[in-house]
Structure 1
């Protein structure tokens, strides 16, 4: 009987295990997770669950008994410490060795850290600790105006905290969306009472707050750092797999070893739609990448060419983003930006490479079709809605 091993019991790993069973695989499935919680989804940790709007049970990918019911050997609280490609075995933190015929690495990523006393958000326990702390009010200082920083800021303000964001770039989300949309998010946060310190690096985190590169000191009761994540590639690096920003894979999510696959945050996969490798840290990539890897492990013809997608909720903004803005040369708006009901399109050489719908719904499919088409568009027609 064949044994398929999945290292990483997050969304990608859990959906891969589910897909293997749905596709008729009747061999052994071993799902190994470093956390003690069964697989759960991470977006609620900085959104609804952190804000107290959703129940804990709703964050989990499957019900408690699902894994046993589907004959999946779920091993929690264990880390894979060594991968031996030659013998097809994984050594675990309890000293045991697990053989495999096919292996999926879905180890995700870890928050980038700064020296000094600060909080981070990655696990459900992190989210619960922050929720409890926000409920007590006080001064919260957030380092980093990326998605995690902005979403946790919205949650802290909703709980009544005073919040200051410190960000070295000139706008929030500057590297992700560019200055045009970054300014939109800056205005939303300012209107909701957030003190934005932009273009200002943090020099030191102290016991009482932070010291900025200018020498100014900002006091806070809590410092929360959200400056991005680093893929957990250590297992792959030590095993000799090809790794760059993430574990390198082809369009079928195969690594440089024919029996090892990678999916989710940790994978840097070739996307034929863009003609290059992408590493995408968002929920949809885990949701869709896990099943794609499972089908590839079963020998099916897989081409993973999804348009990157994510969503966010902050104050009065609900938004969805599709695509990749790298190399864009124009942003076109359709709708009312001031009223926060609009679609933004990023263009490169007259072609749409990304789109964001803000408080406008049921348009993601159309946006992604436009990205996939690669056709040249007229900016005025795009802004007027005639396309």
Structure 2
């Protein structure tokens, strides 16, 4: 531990970083050994609260995540000791196995990968749960998203979302949903939902104001899943997509923390080892499939020597195929942008207008920003600046600053 009191702001940041990186691991491990979702989450949160109280005085430990795990485990033991005698003996014995030898993460046994977080993802994605419940439970338990934020995303009150999460966890217990990675046909059946969750986890970490630890965790879990299912092309494609996207993480901001668009990034700062790995994985993946097509689009960007050398025609063609696999307003929006760069801004604006025809993109800030960029490329700088400012109104943090900066450049 560090000597003497530590600046409270620095400690708060250390606690936040450690909690974000360790929350899912702590919760997943405690669920496995206790079978109690609420207890696991409560103990993880109490460990973070105790860190905020003690680390300013004792210093930040050398292994913050390990400290949080130990405190959470000990808290779970204390709670179980005070529960009924019949349950206490079994549960306490299970919790104490945490101090014993643990199989090396990533090693398979009897068709399963020994990793608590991957087990947790498969449990959250069980088909017995409604889709909304799967997404909400994954956001809360795997991603550590606060219940209030999840409630806002679902347009409900925090108390309503709390009840929904409680019901989902109760259903897992009542239905006897096993806390494990399935095997055989059940594994293939559950795979699409799990891939969607990993995509969600990565996106939360890769967003402009997201937590990078989430992206790192998504990559780690995708590697485990790829080892578990080496013959599944979409698993490999998802891993390739993550690596290619994450390769730009160090070049996405300037020295002041402002976001840099792809054309303004220093490509020498990209992680070229990750790019090579992603491209190598794609070489063994069939051309089509939703994640394979997205990975190939990312590869076009990652392997271009400069923004001007980007193969926008190939990207536009990939989006054309992706729209067939995964028709959605967001795919159509990205398709419009790609066509705008490949065939001229008028072509992009025409596709964007078609995508908006059904009203699905009404008020969507990324659609407004896309229209702004295509309008700027068409030469109407005044209208483009107004659109960028309108898009900025729906954002905050780094994304808002980037959009306002783009508007100022055009004014």
Bigger relative contact order, structure 1 or 2, given CA contacts below 8 A and separation 6+? 1
Q: Same fold (TM over 0.5)?
A: no
Q: Which structure has more helix as a fraction of its residues? A: 2
Q: How does the TM-score come out when normalised to structure 1? A: 0.27
Q: How does the TM-score come out when normalised to structure 2? A: 0.26
Larger-gyration structure (1/2): 2
Q: Which structure has more strand as a fraction of its residues? A: 1
